[in-house]
A and B are shown apart, each in its own frame.
Chain A
Amino acid sequence: MSDLTNKSGKKEFWKSLNDYNDDPGMQKKREDEFLENVTEEFNSENLSGISRRKFLALLAASTAVTATACSDYRDKGEIIPYNKRPEEVFPGVANYYASTCDRCASACGILIKTREGRPIKVDGNPDHPVNQGKICAKGQADIMSLYDPNRLRQPLKLRSEISWKKADEEIIAALNESVSQNKEIALITEGVTSPTAKKVLDDFKKRYATAKIYSHKLVNDESRKNAWLKSYGTKEYPTVKFDKAKIILALDSDFLGNEGNYLQNIRMFTSKREVVGKTDFNRLYCAEGRMSATGMMADYRFRVAPDQQLDFVFSLMNELNKMNPGLISDSLLKNKISDKSIYKFGDKEKLNHLLNDLNTNRGASIIYAGDTLPEEVHVAVNFLNEMLGNKTLYDYTRTIKSLIDETPSEDFSKLASSMKNGNVGVVIHFDSNPVYTLANEFGYEAALRKVKTVVSLTEEENESSAAGIYSLPVNHPFESWGDANVYRGIYSLRQPVIAPIFNTRQKESVLLAWISGSADSYNEDIYHQYLIKNFEESVFNNKNTLSDSKTFWYSALHDGMVQSDESAAESKFNPAALASVESKNNPVGYVVHLTESYFVGDGKFANNGWLQETPHPVSKVTWDNYAALSPALAQKLSVEMNDLVEVEVKGKRIIIPVLVQPGVEDRTINIELGYGRTVIGEAGKNVGVNANVLMHLGSASYILSGASLKKSSGNHLLASTQEHHSLDDAFVKEIHRTRKIIQEGTVEKYKKEPGFLHEEKENLFSITTDHQYTGNKWAMAIDLNKCVSCGACVTSCNVENNIPVVGKDQVEKGREMQWMRIDRYYSGTPEDPIVSNQPMLCQHCDNAPCENVCPVNATNHSPDGLNQMVYNRCVGTRYCSNNCPYKVRRFNFFNFRDHFADAYYENDLTSMANNPEVTVRSRGVMEKCTFCVQRIMEARSNAIRDGKTVSGSDIVTACQQACPATAITFGDANDPSSPIAKLREHNLSYHVLETTNVKPNVTYIAKLRNTHSEEIV
């Protein structure tokens, strides 16, 4: 008692006031356990008749009886075989069909993997000469768009269902009426890559005399084409042989990120970043205002605002002319450039390196301007390349054709005004969305309301179809026939791999029915036959082949393309093109640089959860766009990440969250296009801010000078994945270098001391006995010299391994499920950071720390070196994730199949995209990279069937297959002749966090920077 009392003799802890006052009743209560008379009212006779004994006996007996009586065979359902099995379909065996991607102007060759007639994966067609077996993240994720539950399923008239026949009849009548009343029929498309579709459009124009074809793409290469027209007299411009370039200067160009055919560019660029057996590196200079994926790869980077690029090019000309007097003979041009000095654009030493490199590597260097730069910069760059003799790097056998030109904005203004005046009878949106993509200034949406018949051929309701009358659903490319001719000499074919899932039609077929003038003329095969006929006329007849046309057609369909040796004529540079190029040398205000989103493109992919959730290559932000500002500018405005700012250009304004992006030029505001869609499926609705509204008419609409910027109230949380699963610690600067997560050197240093990486040897000891691997030992190597952080591997892994989309709210909490991530580290200064990328996935450690802590042995080691994860054993303690030094394990906090954005997945359709060889995980289960064990097992099964032993070259993991840079190598480390075994022994190979001695099986090849010094600058 005494320790419970305080100095005044009163208790320190008390139960009630009675207790505090030492009431005598309390004392009694404390002594008796039960109060008196507590059982007085208890009378056994009042209880029910069944005694306790009887109850228990009955319970036991009934349990025994029910258990025995009710145990019967469980019904195992039915097996439904085919009635007549198609010859080529074996249930359980994948079929591959060659086709052509239809999602951007590159028209890459693809191989579609189908299981039991159901497309489940897209990969590049290895025979296609341009993309050579690779396909980008957008192409990979297109599977999700095929099974998008928000697809339009029926033809609609004013949002209510209508039959195809009735719609066709009404539209044909409207078309005929327009012609008879001499009213315009406007057909708006989004570029055309297919010569046969072009022919259909021409036929349409012939059939309906008042028809006009318009084309508009939100992000296009029109300024490059127009500049080429001015410089060389044609719009057909050559691709660049980046694999032959020793020096590359990229001017605000993201040629490794999302410009042109970046798959080809990445392959060519990284072929000069090979460290096995050679160190014949190219050198990449970047001059850009934003921080692009290409900028991250630069050996030297200059911060140049996008509206200063022409000045930069002129000053380059001037300095190079000074170094080689006589390089420029045109006196007019000399006058224009004579006062331009390059040294205001950055560090003098770096700029001198650039000038010397360009000067000494004449004929082996290339200056490459970005698609978003205005025409005059392109003309100046064309001249600069001409001046330095770099024309040799143009590939005239792979020129890019232009089937249909971008309609000039004046024509769109005219269209909008004649729509308003009632001079347009019918508007047809031919798989295009001009209400969203056209600049607000046209007043297109308001004009559309004045048109009597507005028809939208579209896969999904969009802003334009919602403003129209008829919404006609069209086939997904995987359900369609088609062709494409983008590159000279490559004619590729598209074939359907699944019957239309909904009541949709091929968009060209719909037009063909209208052309015939009768709704009854439609049949499923109409465009297919048209395509074959056109193929015969334009391809087969021009090809000197011994086979008959049918055999030739089928072989072309099998290969996915027909190739021919053609070459465009080289033409001379027209110096007059330069006459009109003037630099305006007075930058005012800020400059907004609008660029295409890396993953949702021009907004077309906005409803694709996989793409929305793929982290941005630089900022790692998902599900949003933002205004990227330099740290200095952010400080000046006193804004931080997530704060809202108001960006204003010529009276047009948007409010958008800020992301402080190291490396951005101080006047530049970089905003991505493709966000802020309002009429779209559930996943993409109101994601991000629509920055299209800032665009204005005329040229250079992507670079908006004279912008003003001010802080707005409130904020908007950006969901970035970089802070999650991070190996980096904010409070320890450059820990990724000190802890050797990232190890880098320079080419100079490596040439001098090849073993510089392994100078310090650390004595490591193991407290466990090592695993013995007698057979195969699977291992991976990732070459950091080649990785450009494009994200193709991440998406490929998502598709292959049934990785769910979790939605923005979950990403904010760090619960994204992607098995693979690409870590990005900055070093140096915030103004001029050096960026290092590192794909991170399960390292399949020999001494895996996750295995020791699992209480149920759900993660353990296989004899071929895999760190296995057994879902049906996992109880979800998350100890493994806690103990993983690489933070690559993912936990299913929800049943993400039905949680994502309120059960987006809960429909019959989305699960069709699942790979049947991989378990779909449910809530409470840990998961992680398996090294694509399903592919290993398939290779093993094939080897057993063929009586061979399984070899590492039989297995290609999904990420490896997708990597356009071939940075990922997979194979058997125990096979000394395999590429992986050699890479593991390479001088530049290292393991992340080597000193923990977990013995990872993913080897990284340290990045070399091709600078002029032995130190990284």
Chain B
Amino acid sequence: MKRTVLDYALKIRLPLTLFVIALSFILTFYISRPERDSVGYAPEQPIKFSHKLHAGQMAIDCQYCHIGVSKERHAIIPSVNICMNCHTVARKDRPEIIKLTKYYEENKPVPWKRIHKVPEYAYFNHSVHVNKQIDCVSCHGDVKQMDIISQVKPFTMTACLDCHRNPHEKIPYLQKVNKGPENCSACHR
């Protein structure tokens, strides 16, 4: 009698339980994958700015606003005075622009929600990539089609290395492209 109970516990009940736990973890892992990688992250912004309108329809160059991108590490979120280059005149009556003007006049920065982020211990450099003619779309997706900006690709180390290792496959539009550096101190220091 004692023996059979022990057998049942070891041979059936334990594996079954472990299976249920493992399955739930695996399911959770895959289901929550995009969330953990932030793919699809599109928080509400303080001003409903549309990249589709500005970059898409009006075809304003990315670098008109993101001035740092070819010069240095950061792309730079534009300061309010860049917006006001146009909006002191353009669409002054729209509620979102009134909000923007208010920020400008009160001399307050706009607290934009951050979408794309690499961890603090990784030192990503925009200018190196842009000056090698890598298109913004390759990492940020087709921003020109986005009314609300969201992250479309994971910003994990795997994603970085994927491209660094197989540049011809990942960025086929560049004819002459070298492999990116794979050594640690290229990004970590």
Scan residues 57-108 of chain A and give those whose CB is less than 8 A from a CB of chain B.
Answer: 57, 59-61, 63-64, 67-68, 71-85, 90-93
Complex Cα spacing A85 to B77, Å = 11
Encode contact with B along A854-874: 1 for CB under 8 Å, 0 otherwise: 000000111110101011110
Complex Cα spacing A75 to B185, Å = 28
- Point out the residues of chain B lying under 8 angstroms from A83, CB to CB: 79-81, 103-104, 107-109
Contact A919 B120 (CB under 8 A): yes
- Point out the residues of chain B lying under 8 angstroms from A944, CB to CB: 127-128, 131-132
Q: Which of A61, A71, A77, A870 makes the CB contact (< 8 A) with B114?
A: A77
B92 on the interface (CB 8 Å rule)?
A: no
- Point out the residues of chain A lying under 8 angstroms from B36, CB to CB: 71, 74
A940 on the interface (CB 8 Å rule)?
A: yes
Interface size bracket, B side = 35 or more
* A53 → B minimal CB distance (Å): 7
Contact A67 B188 (CB under 8 A): no
Encode contact with A along B122-163: 1 for CB under 8 Å, 0 otherwise: 010101100110000000000000000000000000000000
* A380 → B minimal CB distance (Å): 56
Q: Which of A60, A64, A74, A77 makes the CB contact (< 8 A) with B17?
A: A60
Q: Which of B27, B68, B113, B123 makes the CB contact (< 8 A) with A76?
A: B113
Stretch at the interface among A252-260, A827-835, A929-937: A929-937
Scan residues 35-80 of chain B and give those whose CB is less than 8 A from a CB of chain A.
Answer: 35-36, 38, 40-41, 43, 67-68, 70-74, 76-80
B32 on the interface (CB 8 Å rule)?
A: yes
Contact B188 A73 (CB under 8 A): no
Contact B74 A91 (CB under 8 A): yes
Contact A76 B189 (CB under 8 A): no
Complex Cα spacing A77 to B81, Å = 22
Contact A941 B125 (CB under 8 A): yes
Interface of chain B: mostly helix, strand, loop or mixed: loop
Contact A82 B113 (CB under 8 A): no
- Point out the residues of chain B lying under 8 angstroms from A870, CB to CB: 184-185, 188
Contact A90 B184 (CB under 8 A): no
Contact A60 B20 (CB under 8 A): yes
Complex Cα spacing A85 to B107, Å = 11
Complex Cα spacing A72 to B35, Å = 6
Given A78-B111, A80-B111, A81-B109, CB of A937 within 8 Å of CB of B68: no
Contact B131 A67 (CB under 8 A): no
B115 on the interface (CB 8 Å rule)?
A: yes
B25, B38, B43, B128: most-surrounded residue (chain A CB, <10 A): B128
B171 on the interface (CB 8 Å rule)?
A: no
Contact B25 A84 (CB under 8 A): no
A917 on the interface (CB 8 Å rule)?
A: yes
Encode contact with A along B10-46: 1 for CB under 8 Å, 0 otherwise: 0001000100110111011001100110101101000
* B120 → A minimal CB distance (Å): 7
- Point out the residues of chain B lying under 8 angstroms from A937, CB to CB: 123, 125, 185-186, 189
Complex Cα spacing A96 to B123, Å = 22
* A15 → B minimal CB distance (Å): 30
Contact B184 A868 (CB under 8 A): yes
Q: Which of A61, A64, A82, A92 makes the CB contact (< 8 A) with B73?
A: A92
Contact A80 B109 (CB under 8 A): yes
Contact A84 B107 (CB under 8 A): yes
Contact B79 A68 (CB under 8 A): no
Complex Cα spacing A67 to B36, Å = 12
Q: Which of A78, A93, A871 makes the CB contact (< 8 A) with B112?
A: A78
Contact B189 A933 (CB under 8 A): yes
Chain A: interface residue total (CB-CB under 8 A): 52
Contact B188 A919 (CB under 8 A): yes
Complex Cα spacing A934 to B121, Å = 12
Contact A945 B127 (CB under 8 A): yes
Complex Cα spacing A83 to B110, Å = 7
* A721 → B minimal CB distance (Å): 26
* A924 → B minimal CB distance (Å): 14
Contact B121 A919 (CB under 8 A): yes
- Point out the residues of chain A lying under 8 angstroms from B43, CB to CB: 73, 75
B165 on the interface (CB 8 Å rule)?
A: no
- Point out the residues of chain B lying under 8 angstroms from A61, CB to CB: 20, 24
A56 on the interface (CB 8 Å rule)?
A: yes
Complex Cα spacing A947 to B132, Å = 9
A637 on the interface (CB 8 Å rule)?
A: no
Q: Which of A81, A933, A945 makes the CB contact (< 8 A) with B71?
A: A945
Given A63-B21, A73-B35, A941-B127, CB of A91 within 8 Å of CB of B68: yes
A918 on the interface (CB 8 Å rule)?
A: yes
Contact B184 A57 (CB under 8 A): no
Q: Which of A90, A93, A930, A940 makes the CB contact (< 8 A) with B189?
A: A930
Given A68-B28, A84-B81, CB of A941 within 8 Å of CB of B185: no
B91 on the interface (CB 8 Å rule)?
A: no
- Point out the residues of chain B lying under 8 angstroms from A934, CB to CB: 123, 189
Scan residues 888-935 of chain A and give those whose CB is less than 8 A from a CB of chain B.
Answer: 917-919, 930, 933-934
B183 on the interface (CB 8 Å rule)?
A: yes
Contact A85 B125 (CB under 8 A): no
Complex Cα spacing A82 to B77, Å = 9
* B174 → A minimal CB distance (Å): 14
Complex Cα spacing A871 to B119, Å = 13
- Point out the residues of chain B lying under 8 angstroms from A864, CB to CB: 183
* A294 → B minimal CB distance (Å): 37
- Point out the residues of chain B lying under 8 angstroms from A76, CB to CB: 38, 41, 113-115, 117
Contact B72 A67 (CB under 8 A): no
Query: Which partner residue on chain B sits nearest A862 by CB separation?
Result: B183
Complex Cα spacing A934 to B186, Å = 9
Query: Which partner residue on chain B sits nearest A942 by CB separation?
Result: B127
Contact B17 A71 (CB under 8 A): no
Query: Which partner residue on chain B sits nearest A931 by CB separation?
Result: B185
Contact A81 B125 (CB under 8 A): no
Query: Which partner residue on chain A sits nearest B32 by CB separation?
Result: A71
Contact A90 B68 (CB under 8 A): yes
Query: Which partner residue on chain A sits nearest B181 by CB separation?
Result: A863
* B66 → A minimal CB distance (Å): 11
Contact A81 B72 (CB under 8 A): no
Encode contact with A along B76-101: 1 for CB under 8 Å, 0 otherwise: 11111110000000000000000000
Given A77-B114, A80-B109, CB of A85 within 8 Å of CB of B32: no
* B30 → A minimal CB distance (Å): 10
- Point out the residues of chain A lying under 8 angstroms from B40, CB to CB: 73
Query: Which partner residue on chain A sits nearest B129 by CB separation?
Result: A944
* B26 → A minimal CB distance (Å): 10
Query: Which partner residue on chain A sits nearest B82 by CB separation?
Result: A85
Contact A84 B79 (CB under 8 A): yes
Complex Cα spacing A864 to B76, Å = 30
- Point out the residues of chain A lying under 8 angstroms from B119, CB to CB: 872
- Point out the residues of chain A lying under 8 angstroms from B132, CB to CB: 944
Complex Cα spacing A862 to B128, Å = 19
Complex Cα spacing A78 to B109, Å = 11
- Point out the residues of chain A lying under 8 angstroms from B112, CB to CB: 78-81
Complex Cα spacing A63 to B18, Å = 13
Contact B27 A68 (CB under 8 A): yes
Complex Cα spacing A941 to B189, Å = 15
Q: Which of B17, B71, B125, B189 makes the CB contact (< 8 A) with A919?
A: B189
Encode contact with B along A935-966: 1 for CB under 8 Å, 0 otherwise: 00100110011010000000000000000000
Residues of B within 8 A of A (CB): 13, 17, 20-21, 23-25, 27-28, 31-32, 35-36, 38, 40-41, 43, 67-68, 70-74, 76-82, 103-104, 107-115, 117, 119-121, 123, 125, 127-128, 131-132, 181, 183-186, 188-189
What are the 3 closest A-B residue pairs judged by CB atoms, nearest first?
A64-B24, A71-B32, A67-B28
Residues of A within 8 A of B (CB): 53, 56-57, 59-61, 63-64, 67-68, 71-85, 90-93, 860-864, 866, 868, 870-873, 917-919, 930, 933-934, 937, 940-941, 944-945, 947
Please list 11 pairs of residues, one from A and one from B, whose beta carbons are closer than 8 Å in the complex, sorted by A's number.
Answer: A60-B24, A67-B32, A71-B36, A81-B112, A93-B71, A862-B185, A863-B181, A930-B185, A937-B123, A937-B185, A937-B186
Q: A64-B23, A76-B41, A919-B188 are in contact. List 15 more A-B contacts (CB 8 A).
A: A60-B20, A63-B24, A67-B32, A68-B31, A71-B32, A79-B112, A82-B80, A84-B81, A92-B72, A93-B71, A866-B183, A868-B185, A919-B120, A937-B125, A941-B125
